[in-house]
Structure 1
Amino acid sequence: MASRQQAVNNFENSKLQCLGKRDKSSAGRIDPKAVDICAVINKLEQYYTTSSCAGRCFLYRGPGVKSTNQFTRFRVSHEKICDPLRYFNLETLDNDFTGGGDPVRSVGQYDQEDHNRGTVQAEDDEILQRERYGSTSIVGMSEGDSIWLRFEPFILHVACRSLAAASALMAAARPAFKNVGLTTWKQNSRYLVAIWGDEGLDMPLSIPGASRLLIPNVDDLTFLPYWLATLVNERHERNWSKIIRFTQAVRDMKLINDDSDVEADNRFLLMTANQNASKIPRSFDVVGDIALIHNISTDDPEERKHIGDAIMQKNKAIKIVAVRESSLHGIERAPGKAGVAIIAGMQRSPLITTHCEYGIKCVVDLQHTFFSPRMGPERLRICQQVARGENVLVLFAGVCMDALQIAGRTEASTILAVDMNPIATECGTRALRMLVRNKAVKTDGAADRLRIIEGEVSQVLERLPRNFFDRVLAPRPKEGNMDGDLGSGDGGITFLRAFLPVMNQNGGECHWYDFVADHEFPECARTRSLVESVCNHQGLSMEVLHVASVGSVAMRQLRICLDFRIFPMTKEETVSL
């Protein structure tokens, strides 16, 4: 029993360390098409992802083996090829590095900060691009060189806590992906499963030393680029379809009995000799050194104290056990001073603690601010989507845990957090000072890139620059009984209209949090229609990236996050309206 408990603890520690690391890929984020499957897997206790790629195409020169010095890669794209004539124009490889594909980003651009001057020593973009993609001119290459097109399908590596868990994951993956296997394992510690697709493509585009595409025997010379784009785009579509099938299979996967016989500390039923054992809750939140019970079955002070003492006896890190006596209310969504009662442990007023999540610390006032540790997986999912160099806006930031995570774990250029609760912003400011001294933070200048503003969101938005933020976190306020599929509220339209103008109008992404009935998920047609209508009214088209379930807020009512991207409307779209 002790050895199994130790194995579970080791796996949990490895999971925290792996998921808490900075993404060192060229984009600094998980591929958008892989975010959903990674989030679904990482939400399960018995799994965590170690690496992923949603599928990509690129041009390359050399023997085709990435580990060799002769291999040079050009124009990586994780999306469909929209401009074939530009992408497959080999004569412009020297001066058009992306060709309409992924933007070129430098790795570690915030690692060389000069703290004396407070500026970042950024190299010239063109030099960075040439270093990464090669500076040798394509024209006049030595004989034997040629340009190739490659498509690499989806690949995912998942660490599993037990052999039974690994077997269940492989069974869920095989209907969509045939290449599934157990690559490495360590007895009673970790089993690594590799899943990869079979939609590969590898073909030459030019003869050695040439700077033009191989010319087919056709009259229209533009035929070849469009045909090549069709080959790539069809593989993208089949690849993405398989990822969706795999994601649904993991969601439908039954709970695995890995014979660990161990439950998480905050998901147990305490079996003690105490006569009140049956009244001890099965679940509660652990915030810092405080256990917060949301519902307790007795009002007797002695019985409550016995319950609190039993919880602290089970988890020595817990110093206080408190009960939430009232529901959340007000704009702050906080219970108030009288809304939380301490039933065991030391007396502390105000009820403040320091909570740590993936190595990042925040300060929480449980009486006057809203914070939920159950949102930890969602905060991780958001961090994994933040690309290097982005400008991020966090609205209704609360104690700023989302903003702190983005600042400490990503290489976003700027992060702005806004909240009108002065106690919440003070908690965020105190956590920001701790971020400076936090050795777990691997990105230099994390605290310098985060700014916290206290103020009413609509008024702050009026002062912000237009068309600036690449990513916006928008957890709209709940409207009480007026919310949901049967409510009469506006669904956050006023809020949505206010922040859309500050988003990057050409590809800016938003994480829109809404409330839906369980029968509406996962389509969430009402939410999609609302967001689309507001975007269209402002001359924007929107693309839904995916919809994530964040948790339950009431019986048969879910909180969801709709991730969408905006673009200017085309003339055809404007006419159709």
Structure 2
Amino acid sequence: MDRSAEFRRWKAQCLSKADLSRKGSVDEDVVELVQLLNGREQFFTTSSCAGRIILLDRGINGSEVQKQNCCWLLVTHKPCVKDDVIVALKKANGDAILKFEPLVLHVQCRQLQDAQILAVRSTHGLEVPLTHKGKLMVTEEYINFLIKIANQKMEENKKRIERFYNCLQHALEKETISMTSYPKEKIKEKNNSSCTHKKKRNPEKACGKYITEGNNKELEIDDHDDPGISVTIFPEDY
């Protein structure tokens, strides 16, 4: 089975599985983006979150506790209000933190060049401790201030999702036009010519290997690796 067929089989298998997220479905604000990616043969998504405001209780030794062992006091994919946070904080027994997490997509890509289209990161987040050992460490006025910031980030996150979707759609359409207007024979000829040229410059190096200029070490691409590349996407400048 060639790599393209293996990728298609892997994609079909993954997309047929049940959604194991807490919500059990794709978030409304990211549905179109997920559908756009899954509708292209070179991509498929494995998980997604459109962005959320959460209140977590990390327990007594919160600094060392993993996320999956936390108590989720509040989770919303929409702007929240102070009263909801205050009520949720009363359930905290350890170190509770208020977080805003932006859009996250985990995407499998058929080839490295496909993954490069999605290479975007962001630091558009928020994480603030509110309690220690169940005791509230800040004022309600400060909590209200934090909620306003988190809600502002949520609104900005929605705008970034839309910009990212439009830019990605444009890039994929441009790629499709480029591929259909350029004969496959020319692409094959160009690739073969490129490999031959590299061999002439350095006969000891084979095509499919890259050399860093700094230390002249080879970075080999193994044809037997998994047929996809996992990419985490955080919209920032789109």
- TM-score after normalising by structure 1: 0.28
Q: Does the residue aligned with 1:39 lie in a helix, a strand or coil?
A: helix
- Higher Cα radius of gyration: 1
Partner of 2:148: 230
Q: Does the residue aligned with 1:165 lie in a helix, a strand or coil?
A: helix
2:36 counterpart letter in structure 1: V
In structure 1, runs of 5+ residues without a counterpart are 94-137, 180-196, 216-220, 262-577
Shift of 1:88: 2.6
Residue identity over aligned pairs, in percent, reads 29
Partner of 1:44: 40
Q: Does the residue aligned with 1:52 lie in a helix, a strand or coil?
A: strand
CA contact (8 A) 2:99 2:126 kept: yes
Q: Does the residue aligned with 2:41 lie in a helix, a strand or coil?
A: coil
What's the C-alpha RMSD, in Å, of the aligned pairs? 2.5
Partner of 1:341: none
What is the CA–CA distance in structure 2 between the aligned matches of 1:8 and 1:58, rounded to whole Å? 39
- Aligned pairs for 1:259-270 (under 5 A) are none
Number of residue pairs matched? 174
1:168 counterpart letter in structure 2: I
> Which one of 105, 116, 121 corresponds to residue 167 of structure 1?
116
What is the CA–CA distance in structure 1 between the aligned matches of 2:44 and 2:68, rounded to whole Å? 33
Distance 1:204 1:60, change over 3 A: same
Partner of 1:85: 83
What is the CA–CA distance in structure 2 between the aligned matches of 1:164 and 1:14, rounded to whole Å? 19
Shift of 1:66: 6.2
> Which one of 248, 258, 271 corresponds to residue 166 of structure 2?
248
1:227 counterpart letter in structure 2: F
Structure with the higher helix share, 1 or 2: 2
CA contact (8 A) 1:56 1:79 kept: yes
1:34 counterpart letter in structure 2: V
Shift of 1:225: 3.7
Partner of 1:10: 6
- Aligned pairs for 1:15-414 (under 5 A) are 15-62=11-58, 63=62, 67=66, 71-81=70-80, 83-90=81-88, 92-93=90-91, 138=92, 141=93, 145-170=94-119, 174=120, 179=121, 197-210=122-135, 212=136, 214-215=138-139, 223-253=141-171, 254-255=174-175
CA contact (8 A) 1:49 1:159 kept: yes
What is the CA–CA distance in structure 2 between the aligned matches of 1:152 and 1:250, rounded to whole Å? 21
Deviations along 1:231-284, whole A, 9 cap, x unmatched? 110111121111111100111012265xxx6xxxxxxxxxxxxxxxxxxxxxxx
Partner of 1:110: none
What is the CA–CA distance in structure 2 between the aligned matches of 1:226 and 1:65, rounded to whole Å? 28
Distance 1:39 1:66, change over 3 A: farther
Q: Does the residue aligned with 1:240 lie in a helix, a strand or coil?
A: helix
What is the CA–CA distance in structure 2 between the aligned matches of 1:34 and 1:49, rounded to whole Å? 12
- TM-score after normalising by structure 2: 0.65
Distance 1:64 1:74, change over 3 A: farther
Deviations along 1:64-112, whole A, 9 cap, x unmatched? 566367532211111111x31232335643xxxxxxxxxxxxxxxxxxx
Q: Does the residue aligned with 2:161 lie in a helix, a strand or coil?
A: helix
Distance 1:164 1:205, change over 3 A: same
What is the CA–CA distance in structure 1 between the aligned matches of 2:39 and 2:68, rounded to whole Å? 39
Q: Does the residue aligned with 2:155 lie in a helix, a strand or coil?
A: helix
In structure 2, runs of 5+ residues without a counterpart are 185-238
Shift of 1:43: 1.1
